[in-house]
Structure 1
């Protein structure tokens, strides 16, 4: 044997050893360390070598069998008929070649195919004797699988007995066990709540759940089964003509079958089905990684037969890889519209899921720690549809000594404000809400919203323009706007600009609670803002109050108190507030201070319901006036209601008030009561 053949032989041996290692990790340990695309690339390379040099084929080559040996923790079941794998296609030309080979092998011009999604789960065999489920096994190495009968019995979509009067004496149903996307999300939420490790994807979750030695654990995890064929059978009712008819028969026996199964004819219809399923992929309730084509005629399947590893009559047409291996070059930190700091991985460009990926989310510091991600690591990246790419795991065996541990910054990378992480959150947040450039649009939109400063007409499109053109940098800049600056904006005439300026001017006279809410302090909503205004009565008192003092106010806990303290600790936030005051934004100081002695509030304990349109003030204004004097405003009328305030077109609330004998007030009566 010459030197060239020796090198090729050694390379083939190396490939076999590597593929077998990955088979063990994927099928037996449920912990793959290589992306599917990389595995397929190695297997195809070995297949090509063995095709070019048949003398190098060995009996133990992974091209000659399927998967890996069963786990020793389970007893074994020998499959009556081997559970062979399918040949894969990745390009349209490979599908065309498959169709051509099938037609030539059958001496026909065109062939009818049964087509179905290719599930991304765990292949199993279910054996029924006299209509009763007796044993179930994994695929294993294709010839011998793991006995997981007790675990399979916990899956509610698998019938324990067949619903027919004369059941078959023997029926082996083959299919896939998987976890639906919604069930996978629920499982990981439960794992997080218990402080346990999350699963990387639904396939790993299903495989791990199915291989539990304790069936009680499997029973707590919602798994689903879909049938895709039969093995050995002794059944007089079994259709013997077409695969599609076999699948219809299985549905009559109460086996779940994918709704997306269909029948097509010829190469072009195969591709059309592939494209249809690929477009629907993200909306399907389960994960798939391609589609499967099978010659529909069972007689023609027998004619075509098998190669050593796969049937000649079937093909798996796989989608573009959604996972790939690349290098993590660095980690940047992005600041979101609400101040959340998100670490983003900078990657060596890699083609995955149909696009070139250069960045991937790392979610938060806890996620980086859980996955043990270092800068410089070799990582597996996943992309699914339009979902932001993410790092799935690190290939630890490729970690070098010069990788670097990453730590989240203590200050915002955009504005330099302090970054804090509260106990109830997984993310760090920038505290520079009023001046941070990354948060400008969100901060200004919130500041101008109806329940805050109520600047009518200042919506998303306008805020986007004034921020993008650097006309407005902080909420205080709104009160410095001139007519020409606004009128020159796109879709903004002079009249519209004048209306905006009038609304801005009107907003200057507000209430302390509205102003506090408008600042956009983390965890401070309308109700909290009212409590703060009522108990402190002064913005200066609020700014000076520390976390401990704030916690003395009812309903203000340590998390909210710390958010407020962190916000006012930033000098730039206080500077923007002073600019707002200098521009004329004002309110009645000490508003609601009487709530320190709630018994002195004239409307304390009184419940009001507002209905209909009031003549001179909005219902929101009426609500604020009532609450400022200790009253409560409810949305529904009951026996506990003290007053119903009625405007024009009052509706059923007015009728109910009359039927219950509740005092009814118009706007004039309300104003008299408020005096």
Structure 2
């Protein structure tokens, strides 16, 4: 914004970069229109008043009140129930905002205790006995949670789905996971020793996971949540295949399966699914309407597989 002198209220010319991302080319200046002041990032979080962190390696500013800022607390609750996490039907951003403001849901565990708030919720505008019953059933359907999904869903920075899977593999039982969050120092020492010697997990992710588990309020919240759900350890059976040990990436639309199904299948075949393409990527699976990633794969000389070839491979 500073480089191109972009200000609030400006008219800009944009182009579609990389077939997807809107890219601002320039500002259209109007001599008859007074421009606003140049944007300056705030020094304090407008929600909680904590100091703002500016990371030179990122293009965003962050609130330092990670675990006390209500905006971040609500954001993590929304992530917890989102489609990529627990995917609780009928509990989206709108409902999380409502229940948080009404002090019905303050943490993850409260979601699974929603039934005790029946009289309050059924009398809210837009709610009734049937809609409340459907929501409670949808929540109960999600009480069985795979450990890697659980770790991903609680919204720890730098812990995406892949890192969550790697971390989950360090825990041989749900009892060990519970002892970890009970602050058992011997267990924590063993787990972090495993993680620090695990390929594919960077120091930022490990430090973020440690910081989260060191914070007492987080530990209490996780222990409360564990009491409400049925944690299970995944027993992923990896089948040796031509893509075992290779980095693959999907692009475009797949007609024979969803992206989530394709990713799960690739992992069962021993591949590592990545989100960005570079020289270390081994295979690109191209569906319909593949864009810039397909072009880059050709430029880098990366093996390209169409959907039909992928479908045949996934049936091995």
TM-score (norm. length: structure 2): 0.62
Q: Is the 8 A contact 1:608 1:631 kept in 2?
A: no
- Tell me, yes or no, if structure 1 residue 561 matches structure 2 residue 201: no
Indicate the residue corresponding to 1:602 in structure 2: 240
Q: Distance in 2 between matches of 1:643 and 1:333?
A: 45
Indicate the residue corresponding to 1:522 in structure 2: 157
- Tell me, yes or no, if structure 1 residue 612 matches structure 2 residue 269: no
- Tell me, yes or no, if structure 1 residue 473 matches structure 2 residue 106: yes
Deviation at 1:524, TM superposition (A): 1.4
Mapping 1:361-440, distance limit 5 Å = 363=52, 429-430=64-65, 432=67, 437=70, 439-440=72-73
Indicate the residue corresponding to 2:75 in structure 1: 442
Q: Is the 8 A contact 2:145 2:229 kept in 1?
A: no
Deviation at 1:532, TM superposition (A): 1.4
- Tell me, yes or no, if structure 1 residue 508 matches structure 2 residue 143: yes
Deviation at 1:449, TM superposition (A): 1.0
Change (3 A) 1:491 1:441: same
Q: Distance in 2 between matches of 1:471 and 1:259?
A: 49
The partner residue of 2:127 within 483, 488, 492 is: 492
Deviation at 1:443, TM superposition (A): 1.7
Change (3 A) 1:583 1:501: same
Secondary structure of 1:624's aligned partner? helix
Secondary structure of 1:580's aligned partner? helix
Q: Which structure would you say has the larger Rg?
A: 1
**Greater per-residue strand proportion:** 1
Indicate the residue corresponding to 1:576 in structure 2: 221
Q: Where does structure 2 lack aligned partners over 5 or more consecutive residues?
A: 7-27, 182-186, 276-281, 291-304
Q: Is the 8 A contact 1:443 1:475 kept in 2?
A: no
Q: Distance in 2 between matches of 1:476 and 1:334?
A: 27
Indicate the residue corresponding to 1:623 in structure 2: 263
Indicate the residue corresponding to 1:182 in structure 2: 3
- Tell me, yes or no, if structure 1 residue 342 matches structure 2 residue 50: yes
Secondary structure of 1:182's aligned partner? coil
Change (3 A) 1:557 1:495: same
Deviation at 1:493, TM superposition (A): 3.5
Q: Is the 8 A contact 2:170 2:194 kept in 1?
A: no
Deviation at 1:479, TM superposition (A): 0.5
Change (3 A) 1:480 1:642: same
Q: Distance in 2 between matches of 1:581 and 1:471?
A: 19
Deviation at 1:471, TM superposition (A): 0.7
Change (3 A) 1:643 1:526: closer
Deviation at 1:562, TM superposition (A): 1.6
The partner residue of 2:93 within 443, 460, 463 is: 460
Mapping 1:91-490, distance limit 5 Å = 181-183=2-4, 260-261=30-31, 277-278=33-34, 281-282=35-36, 334=45, 342-343=50-51, 363=52, 429-430=64-65, 432=67, 437=70, 439-482=72-115, 483-490=118-125
Secondary structure of 1:473's aligned partner? coil
Q: Is the 8 A contact 1:422 1:559 kept in 2?
A: no
Secondary structure of 2:112's aligned partner? helix
Indicate the residue corresponding to 1:4 in structure 2: none
Equivalent pairs, count: 254
Change (3 A) 1:493 1:602: farther
Deviation at 1:629, TM superposition (A): 5.3
Q: Distance in 2 between matches of 1:538 and 1:336?
A: 39
Secondary structure of 1:521's aligned partner? coil
Change (3 A) 1:507 1:613: farther
Q: Where does structure 1 lack aligned partners over 5 or more consecutive residues?
A: 1-179, 186-257, 262-272, 288-331, 344-362, 367-420, 595-599, 645-649
Q: Distance in 1 between matches of 2:57 and 2:288?
A: 47
Mapping 1:1-80, distance limit 5 Å = none
Change (3 A) 1:651 1:440: closer
Deviation at 1:445, TM superposition (A): 0.2
Deviation at 1:448, TM superposition (A): 0.6
